[in-house]
Amino acid sequence: MAQRIEYAVVINHEEQYSIWPEGERLPKGYRAVRKGPADDCIRHLEDLLRERGTQG
């Protein structure tokens, strides 16, 4: 059975997002805001971008 790899959606003070492998040291200035499988994290980022696009 394949190992399930967890990821974290991370954000910095400039509201720049990234996806980072869980358990890895986060880049300086970033904090985790969500954790889960890669597809869930990507979907979360897509939702955030969609919301920002509608805010004008």
The runs of H, that is alpha helices, within 1-56 are 38-55
Give CATH for domain 6-55.
3.90.820.10
Question: How many beta carbons lie within 10 A of that of residue 7, not counting itself?
Answer: 22
**Three-state SS at 21:** strand
Contact 47, 54 (CB under 8 A): no
Question: pLDDT tens, position by position, for the chain (56 residues)?
Answer: 667 789 999 999 999 999 999 989 999 999 999 999 999 999 999 999 898 877 65
- Tell if the pTM clears 0.85, that is, is over it: no
9 forms beta bridges with: 19, 34
- Domain ranges (residues) in the chain: 6-55
